[in-house]
Amino acid sequence: MVAKNATNSAAPKTKVDPLHFKYPRDVHNKFKFGAHVGMAGGISNSVTNAMDIGANSFALFLKSPRKWASPDIKDDEVAKFKQLCVQYGYDPLKDILPHGSYLINMGNPDAEKEEKAYGSFVDDLKRCERLGIGLYNFHPGSSLGSDHRQSLVRLAKNINNAIKETKFVKIVLENMAGKGNLIGNDLQDIRDVIDLVEDKSRVGVCVDTCHTFAAGYDISNVETFEAFWAKFDQIIGWQYLSAIHLNDSKAPLAANLDLHQKLGHGFLGLEVFRIIANYDKFQGVPIILETPVGDDDGVYGEEIKLLEWLQGKKQLDPEFIEKLKELAKLGEKERDEHLKKFEVKKEKTVKRKGKDVTTMVSKKVKVEAKNGEEEAESKSKVKLVKKEE
């Protein structure tokens, strides 16, 4: 028999005044629903920002994600961050998953740029360890048109060196939405890198729902969702799953575009989030929202409450169906716009492919366009970040 007053070990050690925060936090929930929160005014503010939206886990940037150099975190901020984590019951080893800089590309074929990326990467990892944080998520990078396999080898070599330079932080590779040169669109890329990592206890994977869908893995219903995770287990292995990024997708399936959308508004729809909120294998894993909220973090508070509401809901529950329709309606206009863009792009690609076979010159243009495309993509990501901060 279970004692009536048994408490969850994740519960805050001190009593939290519920009136102090905007959204009440469900500390007894076995699922760690959370979001990417801001750290303006000092890194310790991220902890109270997480409390404000009722998050059981959170992500943050450790420095500006679009600058190479950033001043060190001050000692008093480190102390304050740790103290607030204790006060509010966040375990930095398991509940906090910082997001790395978008500039880091350790698969870069240019040795000088690779070294610069490595420096920023290790600096991030050391920041984690100073703060007592046990997980660090980053984008695996791009081969930039060079030999893809060699890029994976380069990335793994840098991960191995970074592990030797640090003590405990787990390096978590995020799957990507794009195609071609980007590393991590294909689950096999991630497996290949893990294979080359010497200390496998220090490496993990973060699955982003938007990236997964945009990369061409349909996860929008129970059958396809199960099929994806069976594939994940077969190629990578459950033991490496370290986090989930929770986003709907503004772009359709296999559009290869990294465009996050609010839950239920996009092409994924609310059903996948109902599945996730009830998927026991995700218990204890940080499940981080990165949906576009502009300056209003309150949206995250609402989305966490939505996820909690989805727990225990059945697919045919009339209340659930009503909610699914309501949110889908809110995103209808944006879905239509992106579907049109996607179709125009597809048509252009077909036409371009037809022309390309004619001359060698056009082949060169294609390669240049591809590289340009990637640059444009990373620029649009920076824009998203700007909004988030």
Distance from C-alpha of 292 to C-alpha of 287, rounded to nearest angstrom: 16
Relative to beta strand 32-36, strand 286-289 is parallel
Site string for Zn ion, 22-51 (x = CB under 5 A): ------------------------------
Q: Which of 124, 174, 189, 303 is catalytic?
A: 174
Q: In this structure, how many other beta carbons lie within 10 angstroms of the beta carbon of residue 234?
A: 10
Contact between 259 and 387 (Cβ < 8 Å): no
Active site residue 174: yes
Active site residue 258: yes
One-letter amino acid at 112 equals: E
Compute the least distance from the CB of residue 9 to Zn ion, in Å.
28
Active site residue 66: yes
Compute the least distance from the CB of residue 39 to Zn ion, in Å.
16
Query: Which is nearest to 180 in space by CA: 378, 377, 341, 370?
Result: 370
Query: Which is nearest to 252 in space by CA: 271, 272, 267?
Result: 267
Active site residue 192: no
Nearer CB in complex with Zn ion: 44/256: 256
Active site residue 25: no
The three-state DSSP-derived secondary structure of 168-213 is CCEEEEECCCCCCCECCCCHHHHHHHHHHCCCHHHEEEEEEHHHHH
Active site residue 154: no
Nearer CB in complex with Zn ion: 178/269: 178
Using CB under 5 A, which of the segments 110-118, 167-175, 186-194, 335-343 binds Zn ion?
167-175
Contact between 136 and 170 (Cβ < 8 Å): yes
Residues facing residue 248 across a β-bridge: 261
Helix (H, G, I), strand (E, B) or coil at 365: helix
Active site residue 36: no
Nearer CB in complex with Zn ion: 21/61: 61
Binding status of residue 245 toward Zn ion by CB under 5 A: yes
Q: Which of 154, 260, 265, 335 is catalytic?
A: 260
Distance from C-alpha of 337 to C-alpha of 257, rounded to nearest angstrom: 14
Nearer CB in complex with Zn ion: 26/174: 174
Q: Which of 26, 186, 189, 208 binds Zn ion (CB under 5 A)?
A: 208
Active site residue 245: yes
Active site residue 102: yes
Active site residue 211: yes
Using CB under 5 A, which of the segments 126-134, 208-216, 317-325, 376-384 binds Zn ion?
208-216
Q: Which of 52, 271, 290, 388 is catalytic?
A: 290
> How many residues in the shown chain lie near Zn ion by CB under 5 A?
3
The three-state DSSP-derived secondary structure of 335-358 is HHHHHHHHHHHHHHHHHHHHHHCC
Compute the least distance from the CB of residue 277 to Zn ion, in Å.
18
Q: Would you please indicate which residues are annotated as catalytic (active-site) residues?
A: 66, 99, 102, 139, 174, 208, 211, 245, 258, 260, 290
- Contact residues for Zn ion (CB under 5 A)? 174, 208, 245
